[in-house]
Amino acid sequence: MFGKGVRAVDHLDLDINDGEFMVLVGPSGCGKTTALRMLAGLEEATEGDIMIGETRVNDVPPKDRDIAMVFQNYALYPHMTVYDNIAFGLRLRELGGFFWQLTHMAEAKKIKADIDARVRETAQMLSIEHLLERLPKELSGGQRQRVALGRAIVRKPKVFLMDEPLSNLDAKLRIQTRAELIRLHRRLGVTTIYVTHDQVEAMTMGQRIAVMSNGLLQQCDEPTRVYNEPANKFVAGFIGAPPMNFVEGVIKDGWVEAGPVRVKLKDGHPAIALNGQAVTFGIRPEDIYHAEGNVSIPVSEANTFEAHLDVLEKLGAEDTAYLMVGDQPMIATLDPAHPVAVGSTAKFAFDLDRIHIFHGEDGVAVR
Ligand SMILES: Nc1ncnc2c1ncn2[C@@H]1O[C@H](COP(=O)(O)OP(=O)(O)OP(=O)(O)O)[C@@H](O)[C@H]1O
Ligand SMILES: [Mg+2]
């Protein structure tokens, strides 16, 4: 709770397993950074418990939580080389002061050698070994970001907190570093909480992902589960690109009636019981097929509709089609092997096993 009544994170109830890679994802301003800062001890939680292992850490100062955080707005020490930036925390933690070092020369030497090995190993992991002697101002944004990562990794903490650590990298480097981080996690096995607003990053990196909106946890599950069984309309629309299509409608005698879109619910579908109630019908673009092509799903009156193909984006492996169903826009991912001409009207079909129905009132998935 911030002053002025801002409740940035509301009852975030999240159990993260030991050694897990958990991704916290949500739109800008939903409270991701605040949640991480509370874990790190940089922000106080107004209520609730924050536990690391068996220990309640609400009152443990940040430096004693054995957490390494990579900040969204990280800062490197400008007057130190990359090497010293990475080594700094370790030296502070593991080496005594000047006089201690004088009186414990052999021990200090051993620690220094160990620090040196760790710095070099980390730099190699992040492909920055050739930059160790440079100053931050002599690096690109992406290189600086990797140094900031290195500073956290080198400490081998109990928990990593990473706040959009790849945001400054270009597309190629981001994908590369993404894979690097996954490999790193597999190797070190350190519990990691990774924040991003990028749902692709969330899907590809997370062992589980926690979707947040407006300070509230919406769903926490394995990526495929979140994708295939979104808990509500927000999650359904947030995860997946191009996004899920939504059409407002009502349930009537086993059908979803949504203007020009009519879908017969399969026998036993729980939404059949909502006769007369308002619902949102949801379908992902890849679950719409050109019904006149060679489709892998059964096609009948129960799942077909006619649409005008407005715009077609050819992406190579697939086509993204912008359809108009009456005055209802809809996006479909189509197989280029069965093309539909732009400007023509054709029959399309929904995969009835992959439709989503949400309660009209609160958007909660009907199960
Ligand atoms: N110190 C503060 N005082 C008051 N309100 C704050 C403070 N810090 C953050 N907030 C508010 O809390 C909410 C959550 O902010 P937070 O930084 O956690 O969002 P975020 O999910 O990390 O967003 P982004 O993706 O843009 O980084 C926002 O509405 C923000 O304006
Ligand atoms: Mg943030």
Instruction: List, as one string, the DSSP characters of 257-296.
Output: EETTEEEEPPTT-GGGGGTT-EEEEEE-GGGEEETTS--S
Tokens of 200: 């692709």
Q: Which residue has the least CA distance to atom 20 on ligand 1?
A: 29
pLDDT of 3 higher than 80: no
Q: Which ligand is nearest to the CA of 35?
A: 1
Question: Where residue 234 falls among pLDDT bands split at 50, 70, 90?
Answer: very high
Beta bridge partners of 332: 321
Question: Where residue 359 falls among pLDDT bands split at 50, 70, 90?
Answer: very high
Q: Tell me what pLDDT residue 4 has.
A: 66
- Which one of 190, 218, 237 terminates a domain? 237
Reported as a single tens digit per residue, the pLDDT across 261-288 is: 999 999 999 999 999 999 999 999 999 9
- Considering the domain architecture, whether residues 220 and 263 belong to the same structural domain is answered as no
- Considering the domain architecture, whether residues 233 and 253 belong to the same structural domain is answered as no
Q: Which region among 212-226, 251-265, 282-296, 353-367 has the lowest average model confidence (pLDDT)?
A: 282-296
Q: Which ligand is nearest to the CA of 2?
A: 1
- Considering the domain architecture, whether residues 248 and 331 belong to the same structural domain is answered as yes
Tokens of 218: 């919406």
- Considering the domain architecture, whether residues 264 and 117 belong to the same structural domain is answered as no
- Considering the domain architecture, whether residues 136 and 260 belong to the same structural domain is answered as no
Q: Are 52 and 26 in contact (CB under 8 A)?
A: no
User: From ligand 1's centre to the CA of 175, what distance in Å?
Assistant: 27
- Considering the domain architecture, whether residues 319 and 258 belong to the same structural domain is answered as yes
Q: Print the domain residue range for 126.
A: 3-237
In a domain, 204, yes or no: yes
HSE-CB of 49 using CA atoms within 13 angstroms: 7
Q: Tell me what pLDDT residue 175 has.
A: 87
- Considering the domain architecture, whether residues 231 and 250 belong to the same structural domain is answered as no
pLDDT of 74 higher than 90: no
Q: Tell me what pLDDT residue 292 has.
A: 86
**Is 30's C-beta closer than 6 angstroms to any atom of ligand 1?**
yes
Rounded Cα distance between 171 and 176, Å, is 9
- DSSP-H helix ranges across 71-154: 82-94, 98-103, 105-125, 141-153
**Is 34's C-beta closer than 6 angstroms to any atom of ligand 1?**
yes
Q: Which amino acid is at 189?
A: G
Q: Are 320 and 310 in contact (CB under 8 A)?
A: no
Rounded Cα distance between 332 and 257, Å, is 20
Q: What's 269's domain CATH number?
A: 2.40.50.140
Atom of ligand 1 nearest to the CA of 6: 5
- Considering the domain architecture, whether residues 197 and 279 belong to the same structural domain is answered as no
Q: Tell me what pLDDT residue 72 has.
A: 74
| Residues 6+ positions from 337 with CB-CB distance below 8 Å | 293, 294
The CA angle 50-52-54, to the nearest 5 degrees, is: 105
Q: Which residue has the least CA distance to atom 17 on ligand 1?
A: 33
In a domain, 367, yes or no: no
Rounded Cα distance between 48 and 317, Å, is 49
Atom of ligand 1 nearest to the CA of 34: 18
Q: Which region among 13-27, 52-66, 100-114, 207-221 has the lowest average model confidence (pLDDT)?
A: 52-66
Reported as a single tens digit per residue, the pLDDT across 28-72 is: 989 999 989 888 888 888 888 888 888 888 888 888 888 988 887
- Considering the domain architecture, whether residues 196 and 255 belong to the same structural domain is answered as no
**Is 6's C-beta closer than 6 angstroms to any atom of ligand 1?**
yes
Residue 216 CA: distances (Å) to CA of 7, 114, 115, 257, 274: 10, 43, 41, 32, 27
- Considering the domain architecture, whether residues 266 and 130 belong to the same structural domain is answered as no
In a domain, 191, yes or no: yes
Ion ligand 2: residue ranges with CB closer than 5 A: 33, 72
- Considering the domain architecture, whether residues 73 and 142 belong to the same structural domain is answered as yes
**Is 37's C-beta closer than 6 angstroms to any atom of ligand 1?**
no
Tokens of 148: 């900031």
In a domain, 320, yes or no: yes
Residue 112 CA: distances (Å) to CA of 81, 92, 96: 17, 11, 11
Atom of ligand 1 nearest to the CA of 26: 21
- Considering the domain architecture, whether residues 254 and 198 belong to the same structural domain is answered as no
In a domain, 364, yes or no: no
Mean pLDDT score across all residues of the chain? 91
In a domain, 40, yes or no: yes
In a domain, 365, yes or no: no
**Is 12's C-beta closer than 6 angstroms to any atom of ligand 1?**
no
pLDDT of 356 higher than 80: yes
Rounded Cα distance between 26 and 202, Å, is 10
Q: Are 161 and 67 in contact (CB under 8 A)?
A: yes
The number of distinct structural domains making up the chain is 2
- Which one of 213, 237, 261 terminates a domain? 237
- Which one of 206, 237, 268 terminates a domain? 237
Q: What's 43's domain CATH number?
A: 3.40.50.300
SS3 content of the chain, % helix, strand, coil (to 5): 35, 30, 40
CA Rg, the chain, in Å? 26
In a domain, 154, yes or no: yes
